[in-house]
Chain A
Amino acid sequence: DSGVTQTPKHLITATGQRVTLRCSPRSGDLSVYWYQQSLDQGLQFLIQYYNGEERAKGNILERFSAQQFPDLHSELNLSSLELGDSALYFCASSVEGTGGNSPLHFGNGTRLTVT
């Protein structure tokens, strides 16, 4: 058990809809990362927050947004969903804001299916 909790585990929704994915980081970790995993693209970095502030942005679409709350949990909001957004969404946490030497602890992901 990594200590990182993601909810929900599965999500099925229709095109055009909006969903919110939730992540509680490991106790003591200040940094939260969101990744998208699909068969054709692999694990792609979306965005990182550190202690409530956005720290780094990756290949995140404008339709997607995230935030980290004072209690350090994070939410990833996906809107105007398209079929191609179907993927596994992972949250990871680490102690430090610089992930290079600080290991990432991953949750078990949310599987999003857009129909």
Chain B
Amino acid sequence: TQLLEQSPQFLSIQEGENLTVYCNSSSVFSSLQWYRQEPGEGPVLLVTVVTGGEVKKLKRLTFQFGDARKDSSLHITAAQPGDTGLYLCAGVTTGGSYIPTFGRGTSLIVHP
């Protein structure tokens, strides 16, 4: 059983569409990170959220941390082909080992 469940697993959309991907758990996290991984490369950190209800924006990407700090979402507005990649969430549980645990990711393809 995965600590972090990400959905959907795959997403294939046209350029200009909006999308939301989700990261859910039954555990409470002290912090949650979102990474993007492109083929042949390692994951690259996009954002870290630490406060329940927190919303962070990175250009066309909006990240939200759930009020109970058990879930998070990533919304992309007007997706572009350059957004194609594997989106991974990683959480650090409260009272745990401080090691980020990763979900399996959402694989996004944006077609021109």
Contacts and interface: CB of A to CB of B under 8 A. Distances in A.
B and A form one assembly: yes
Contacts of B50: 101
Nearest to B93: A100
B42 A4 contact: yes
Interface of B: 2, 30-31, 33, 35, 40-45, 48, 50, 88, 90, 92, 97-105
Contact of A43 (B41, B44, B102): B102
Interface string A75-115: 00000000000000010100001111101111111000000
Interface of A: 2, 4, 33, 35, 41-45, 48, 56, 58, 90, 92, 97-101, 103-109
A106 to B, nearest CB: 3
A104 B100 contact: yes
B88 A98 contact: no
B2 A109 contact: no
Contacts of B35: 106
B42 A100 contact: no
Given A99-B92, A103-B48, A48 B102 contact: no
Of the candidates B41, B48, B97, the one having the most CB atoms from chain A within 10 angstroms of its own CB is B97
Contacts of A106: 35, 42-44
A103 B45 CA distance: 7
Interface centre among B40, B42, B50 (most CB of A within 10 A): B42
Contact of B2 (A42, A45, A101): A42
B48 A101 contact: yes
Nearest to B96: A100
A43 B33 contact: no
B46 to A, nearest CB: 10
B9 to A, nearest CB: 11
A33 B42 contact: no
